[in-house]
Chain A
Amino acid sequence: MLAAAILALVLALQTPAPENVLVTITVAGDEHFTLPHVIEISPAGTGGEVWVAVRTWEGGTRTLTSVQCPAIADAVRAFADLPAVPVDSPVLAVADGNGWPIGPILLHGFETTLSFQTTTDDGSVARVQLSGGNSYRRWGHRTVADLIGCWGPLTP
């Protein structure tokens, strides 16, 4: 009974409220490399020294701290360095007669969708969901790949 209560307490401490999640990575399934899954990265407390990553897939859940897996803290630091996302629709470029913009090619990699909160210029909080975008897509791929070194792959 006591063990169950302690376990519940630990899980409660490690399961952050949604507003405390730094970033949620939704990883698309791939027939060869991975089952679809979600990774949430959150601070373990208020000090910002320890981070928790939770991986959830149809078959279960796995939790790691940045103490167990330093790649989590590396990913958080790299996330902080991502560039701002300007609102600049390709459709507007076409409408202006500039043609469809040509972007770089990113072959393969984990396909991720990132969800996170950001503060706008007026100080209000906005929720962002972002797919593609080279810097963000590379960060998503890199984070998924680096964390596999800690908790292993989710190969189908």
Chain B
Amino acid sequence: MEAAALAAGEDGLTYRERACWLLRQPDGSIIASEPIEGDIFQPGITPTTFMDPYQVSDMSRIVGIVHNHGPGFHGPSSPSGAYGGDAAALATLQNIMSTYPVNIGWQARLYIVAKTEGANSYNKINVYGPENISSGTGPEVNPDADLQACPTN
């Protein structure tokens, strides 16, 4: 996603929301789909990104989602009113994974990438599943994410 942002002339992941499907390959490896472009981050506006699973040629390959938040927002977006927040996105992901590769919804994973605030900031990745989506900030993965190559198609 950061490569797509830089290719678009943006300043890393802090300008626009993007999201990727995480897809399982026949050999078991996981790749990220092409990034789906969402709204730009603006003060007072929560951005949105539209992800249509029917655009994935084989929905049985879907095992997760990765998307970026604005700097410092490492947790899932909160439910409010009828809005289910990132937990609702995870619930749809579970629904997909319980329907196509049958009954593996419990393995669904939602990764949130956000730049840390302050000095020495970096792209922090936190992971969420059904077991922790409602309990604050999930565990950080890839603490050296900036130094690691992203999977490519």
List residues of B whose CB falls within 8 A of some A CB: 17, 19, 38-39, 42-54, 59, 65, 67, 73, 77-78, 80-83, 86, 89, 92-93, 95-96, 99
Contact = CB atoms under 8 A, between A and B. Distances in A.
Given A28-B81, A107-B86, A111-B83, A102 B96 contact: yes
Nearest to B72: A32
Interface in A82-105: 99-100, 102-105
Chain A, interface residues (CB within 8 Å), range: 20 to 34
Interface of A: 28-34, 36, 99-100, 102-111, 113, 131-132, 134, 138, 141, 145, 148, 152-155
Contact of A102 (B17, B53, B65): B53
B73 A105 contact: no
23 contacts: A28-B80, A28-B81, A30-B83, A32-B46, A34-B44, A36-B81, A103-B92, A104-B51, A104-B53, A105-B92, A107-B17, A107-B50, A107-B86, A108-B46, A108-B48, A108-B77, A108-B86, A111-B80, A113-B82, A132-B82, A148-B45, A153-B45, A154-B44
